[in-house]
Amino acid sequence: MSSPFSSGRARLGLLQVSLAGVLWGTGGLVMQLIRDREPMSVLVVSTWRMVLAAVVLFAALLVTRGFADLRRLMRQRPGTAVIVGCCTGAYQALYFGAVLAVGVTVSTVVALGLAPVLLTIAESVAARRWPSRMRLLVLGAALGGLVLVSADAGTSTTGPHPLLGVLLAAASGATYALATGIGRPLTGLTTPLALTTATSTAGAIALLPFGLLAGGPYVPSDPQVAVLLVYLGVATLALAYALLYAGLRTVTGSAALVATLLEPVTAAVLAAVILGERLGLLGIIGAALILVAVAGLEEEDEEGGAVPEGPVPL
């Protein structure tokens, strides 16, 4: 039985990851707002996002005197940190591409609905055991929901290229699951701030040549676009990933992905209110299935004791 202290730490971890999900839920909307004002490519916007996040995080390390933590991480697991950073950059570029192709709501639901399914399967393979009946039922519901949302993408009021958008969103979800699975062991080696700085910097360096090759404009001419880019880098990446890695110290990877499904809820509400996006009946049913399924994953993690008894030691 877990102690009240460890249970409290686990709840705090879920809260941190949930806050990260809400911040991520605003990212697709901000991307659309940027494109409405400036014809910047997805890769240029993604590069700006990673670069700005890295600058802010390095400044935070300087203020908190946390460079020793960053050096320790890069001595112990440099390759893993770089891979997670590259996956982070790829995940967001694929997601933003999906947003422009099929809209905010479908992109977010598909990407974030697929990720917990893939991570749960990976956890079962790593443990060399079949998922429980409940988990198989939950995964079936999630996959069914993804199919319904994807099928509805071409008929609802979403974006101009539904098939391409769904494929990009699926690739984004797979990359996000990979980054989460690979990155979780790093949370026990250093602080969330140092880990987020390392991965953001690696992602920025990886994206920079692609951003340059994508063509201009490279620098925003509209002050509002500059503000939106800063928000993307600081709030939806630097702060959100710091919260994610802090939460991953006390919850399992699949539980964390469950909590981040606040992102599609946030994205869908904002897209409906501000952009006028609407899912059809099949899409609504599919989105509901996904949310119910991931809620079932969270409940099973808690009943099965998957949440650690305490934080992973630094």
Which residues, other chains included, contact 293 with Cβ-Cβ below 8 Å and sequence gap of 6+?
138, 139, 141, 142, 145
The pLDDT value given to residue 256: 60
Local confidence band at 272 (pLDDT 50, 70, 90 cut-offs): confident
What DSSP line would sit under 132-175, residue for residue?
Answer: PHHHHHHHHHHHHHHHHHHHHTTTSB--S-HHHHHHHHHHHHHH
The pLDDT value given to residue 305: 42
Asked if the model's pLDDT at residue 86 lies above 90, the reply is: yes
Write down the residue that tokens 């956890």 correspond to.
Answer: 123
The tens digit of pLDDT for each residue in 154-181 reads 555 566 788 888 899 999 989 988 888 8
CA distance 293 to 287: 10
Asked if the model's pLDDT at residue 122 lies above 90, the reply is: no
> Quick one: tokens of 96?
């933003």
pTM of the model: 0.76
The tens digit of pLDDT for each residue in 29-67 reads 899 899 889 989 999 999 999 999 999 999 988 888 888
The tens digit of pLDDT for each residue in 211-240 reads 999 887 999 989 999 999 999 999 988 888
> Quick one: tokens of 125?
């393979």
Mean predicted confidence (pLDDT) in 5-22 = 74
Asked if the model's pLDDT at residue 264 lies above 80, the reply is: no
The enclosing H or E element of 300 equals helix 281-303
Cis peptide before 217 (omega within 30 of 0): yes
Of 255, 251, 254, nearest to 12 (Cα)?
Answer: 251
